[in-house]
Amino acid sequence: MMGLPWRAGPFCVASALLLLPNAASLSRTSVVVVGGGGASRPATTTGVAAPRYPEIGLRRTGRRRGRRRRSAPSPRAATAAADDDDHDDRDHDQYDDGVELTNAEISRYSRHLVLGDVGVAGQRALKKSSVLVIGAGGLGSSCLLYLAAAGVGHIGIVDADSVDESNLQRQIIHGTSTIGTSKCESARRRMIDVNPHVDVRVYEEEFTSETAMRILGDGFSASTPRYDVVVDGSDNFPTKYLINDACDILGLPWVYSAVLAFEGQVSTFNHDGGPNYRDLLPAPPPPGDVPSCAEGGVLGVLPGTMGCLQATEVIKIVLGMGGGLLSGRCLTYDATTMKFGEIGIARSPNRKRAVELIDYQGFCAGPKVAQQRGTANAAAARVEDGADDAPAGGRTMDEVPSSDEGLLVGSDDFNSIGPTDCLDKLAGGWSPWVLDVRMRSENDIVALPFTDAVVPHREVRRDHIPKDGEVLIYCKGGVRGKKACSRLVGLGVDPRRLYNLEGGILRWQKEIDPQMPRY
């Protein structure tokens, strides 16, 4: 425990006393040592039974004083009794809003109840609170489990995806038995198993500009008409900006996180007039500049770590512990070095409060694409050549084009070819240069056996392909192949030479070679 900012508790003090000579003679110390579970149990001031271990000779003669004050409690954590320097002196019986803890809940939450900064009043506040988690994936998994375990009474989950085997490396709320099940339902079952005292509402739909205000505005139920906190478990910029603006309009705090490879970050936005996501990132990065987790990978335990931090922030918000929140700070974490850092965030004086939701796909795609969106075919929002080409779990993040795919380059600028037609041409003597535009690590998993070169789509240059002849370009699901073709056309390559493999290697595996592994 070297270097940890722990407050000295009864266990720590008693342990130190046991190291001293004649410790048993210190009979007037105000500590009782109780083993079990790694935590100490405060004794009452009267009626203290004889110690279980008489040789220790310790008695409690008075309450420990001088604990730090909590910040002003939130409405959910408010009690009729005023805080003073000793939280043990608070009259929790004064807390009266119709929320009571059953005997079973008292037993379940006992480690919370003995914490001065939680106690009975805080646990009642948790039971009454309602939290909406957008995304039941890597971040949402650990966050949802710990919110349920902590006794947050009303939890909403938004996710339109279903469980895929590739999710299980990091999305620990799901299991092998729930593959193919909707993530909302899979998460709900696991949460109820963890804590049957919580209520879970599921929204098996996308969180979009069309659905956001309804989902947030309706609240958890008629009796709980407003969510207290929103948690961001999304994996893309449009959704994060949407969450930010919707919460800004409704005045809701939300807890943000993002992960990639070995790094993550977390912050609390829109809390008591504090900074929001647009103060951290006023404009999204250019499309394609930041790889997704499906493309760049993510250490399985990383979203679990960040999701736990998000759950911690949510609990602190509900308990009214505002002084230590990550509002105005973005906590960064590097798993390779096991180091945390901070980035300060200040509210921009020029930022105006959001008054309406916008087209976030267009906003994050850039002005040129946003201008062309009116002429886009709605089918472009589906996976290459239709949803049937998607993996069993639905989305694969980088392999699902937004409604802006196809706007970056006109459909006549280069050729597209399906796996069956491609195989027929190859059998007929076609001999193109074959370029894999995935990451090298993906090529190591599975590749077309006649691949000539591997170059990530962001790095493709003219000198990566022959000066003459046709080129077949493929990726995982067809999206990065399109972007690579677009890049080469922009660099002056004749688009008639380029062929993008529709659906990528996933569709090739489905239609041509089922023995290939899927990832």
User: What pLDDT is attached to residue 456?
Assistant: 94
Query: pLDDT tens, 381-439?
Result: 333 333 333 433 334 334 444 434 444 444 448 999 999 999 999 999 999 999 999 99
Query: pLDDT tens, 463-515?
Result: 999 999 999 999 999 999 999 999 999 999 999 999 999 999 999 999 999 99
Asked if the model's pLDDT at residue 13 lies above 50, the reply is no
User: What pLDDT is attached to residue 186?
Assistant: 98
State how far the alpha carbon of 290 is from the alpha carbons of 286, 294, 297, 361, in Å: 8, 12, 12, 15
Asked if the model's pLDDT at residue 46 lies above 50, the reply is no
User: What pLDDT is attached to residue 286?
Assistant: 84
> What sections of 320-449 are H helices per DSSP?
360-365, 367-372, 419-427, 440-445
Q: Between these two residues, 459 and 293, which has the higher pLDDT value? A: 459
Residues with catalytic roles: 293, 475
183-194 and 138-150 helices, crossing angle to 10°: 30
Whole-number average pLDDT of the chain: 80
CB burial string 422-460: b at 16+ within 10 A, e below: bbebeeeeeebbbbbbbbeebbeebbbeeeeebbbbeeb
Asked if the model's pLDDT at residue 242 lies above 60, the reply is yes
330-345: average pLDDT: 98
Closest CA to 275 of 283, 267, 263, 265: 267
218-236: average pLDDT: 93
User: What pLDDT is attached to residue 367?
Assistant: 52
DSSP 229-265: EEEE---SHHHHHHHHHHHHHHT--EEEEEEEBTEEE
State whether residue 163 is helix, strand or coil: coil
User: What pLDDT is attached to residue 124?
Assistant: 97
Unique residue bearing structure tokens 């971040």: 139
Position 295 confidence tier, pLDDT thresholds 50, 70, 90? confident
pTM of full prediction above 0.85: no
User: Chain centroid to CA 32: how far?
Assistant: 41
Residues in the chain: 519
State how far the alpha carbon of 108 is from the alpha carbons of 101, 194, 441, in Å: 10, 11, 45
